[in-house]
Structure 1
Amino acid sequence: MIPTPDLSHLTTADYEHVYKPAEDTFILLDALEQDADELRETKPLVCLEIGSGSGCVSSFVGAILGHSCLYLSTDINPHAASCTLRTARQNKTAVDPIVASLAGPVRTRLHRSIDLLIFNPPYVPTFDEEAYGAQSTAGIAGAWAGGRDGMQVTDALLDDLDNLLSPTGLFYLVAVKQNDVPGIRSRMEQESGFRSEVVLQRRAGREHLFVVRFTR
């Protein structure tokens, strides 16, 4: 069993600005651990986590893959980038955090070169205006306010997936039932030819969480 990354360096003050790992984080960790052997066999060279928050997930991936991979992360929240860097150091993983939206600054340079892409998006259905406001202020609400159907930010990344994922790349996406997981999978296959599989799902309170893995 791969231990959950050490987050003891993060404080209550940090969690006022950065999303604290919760059930959606832990189902993602469990899905990645479940696929650990496959991840190692694919020998990824570039890993990118979108919306890294506390840095828990990127550090966990570092524990799976070791030092043979370049670990990058993005987050619109500067506090999240700082926490990601500190968490990586605390767990002896080298992650390079970037303050940016989605794949922003690396999109061109890493065209179809990302071997492992991970996104636990803001998936909670809200008014579109709330989601726009959360993204523009780059605060903690940007970690959960997802707009209509909770898909505003996720759709933006899905539209760009073909430009990002390498030929053998894997993409892990966290979603909830309200996001219409079958619809996401069908659309990505019909429009871009991406195959997908629900690798893990569970109920957490009122949420029905899914982790979907996409491949070319």
Structure 2
Amino acid sequence: MNATIFLEIGSGSGCVSAFAGKILDTSTLYLTTDINYRACNCTRRTGSQNNVTLDAIQTSFTQALHSRLKNSVDIICFNPPYVPTVSTEVSEAQDLRGIEGSWAGGSDGMQVTNIFLSVVHELLSFNGRFYLVALKENNIPEIQSRMKTLYQLESKIVLSRRAGREHLSIVRFKRALPGLS
């Protein structure tokens, strides 16, 4: 796929974006966001060490650049905080912008993810793809159904793996073709 803009939400170490930079076109713009400034610094270093320019922006989701990216992102990756936790842990972790924010997902693990799911369709280019990491407990079929019904985004589980006690999947979303259901 020819990608003009690649975006990773919650980049953490920057490994996903650096890997993408090694396999995608060199003319692609690699943007990453994270609410934690240490994660942004780490992302920049990871990119540098892998000879990939990663533009790391400290912001929540795409808050600082949402209007500029409307309908223009070709690939979006999001490995959200998906672990089910108490809701207060999510709020505190996000407010403090600490390491806990990388895993605390709320009662069903979807508290943070749901915020981004409601805007991802505004960012995707016509042929764009959105890759979401989800835990089995996040109710993947419900996520897929909701994204199809509300935003006309078709989806497919492209990879499933067990990591310790976690059953993880990567779900790929794309715009539904007009006239097909």
User: Normalising by the residue count of structure 2, what TM-score does the alignment of the two structures yield?
Assistant: 0.95
Asked if the contact 2:2/2:25 (under 8 Å) is kept, the reply is no
Which ranges of 4 or more aligned residues in structure 1 deviate by more than 4 Å? none
The partner residue of 2:125 within 158, 166, 183 is 166
State the Cα deviation string for residues 50-104 of structure 1 (Å, max 9, x = none): 0000110000000011411000000000000000000100000001000011111
Relative to its length, the structure with more helix (as a share) is: 1
Structure 1 CA distance for aligned equivalents of residues 147 and 61 of structure 2: 18
Q: Which residue identity lines up with residue 212 of structure 1 in the other structure? A: V
Q: Give the equivalent residue in structure 2 for 1:211.
A: 170
Structure 2 CA distance for aligned equivalents of residues 153 and 103 of structure 1: 13
Structure 2 CA distance for aligned equivalents of residues 66 and 43 of structure 1: 7
Q: Give the equivalent residue in structure 2 for 1:181.
A: 140
Q: Which residue identity lines up with residue 67 of structure 2 in the other structure? A: T
Q: What are structure 1's unaligned runs of at least 5 residues?
A: 1-41
User: Where does 1:60-209 land on structure 2 (aligned, <5 Å)?
Assistant: 60-209=19-168
Q: Give the equivalent residue in structure 2 for 1:32.
A: none
Structure 1 CA distance for aligned equivalents of residues 164 and 121 of structure 2: 34
User: Normalising by the residue count of structure 1, what TM-score does the alignment of the two structures yield?
Assistant: 0.80
| SS of equivalent residue, structure 2 residue 52 | coil
Structure 2 CA distance for aligned equivalents of residues 91 and 66 of structure 1: 15
Structure 2 CA distance for aligned equivalents of residues 191 and 66 of structure 1: 32
Q: Give the equivalent residue in structure 1 for 2:17.
A: 58
Structure 2 CA distance for aligned equivalents of residues 58 and 202 of structure 1: 20
How many residues align? The count is 175
Structure 1 CA distance for aligned equivalents of residues 75 and 174 of structure 2: 10
Q: What are structure 2's unaligned runs of at least 5 residues?
A: 176-181
Aligned sequence identity (%): 53
Structure 1 CA distance for aligned equivalents of residues 25 and 45 of structure 2: 18
Asked if the contact 2:11/2:40 (under 8 Å) is kept, the reply is yes
Relative to its length, the structure with more strand (as a share) is: 2
Asked if the contact 2:3/2:25 (under 8 Å) is kept, the reply is no
Q: CA deviation at 1:162?
A: 1.6
Q: Give the equivalent residue in structure 2 for 1:27.
A: none
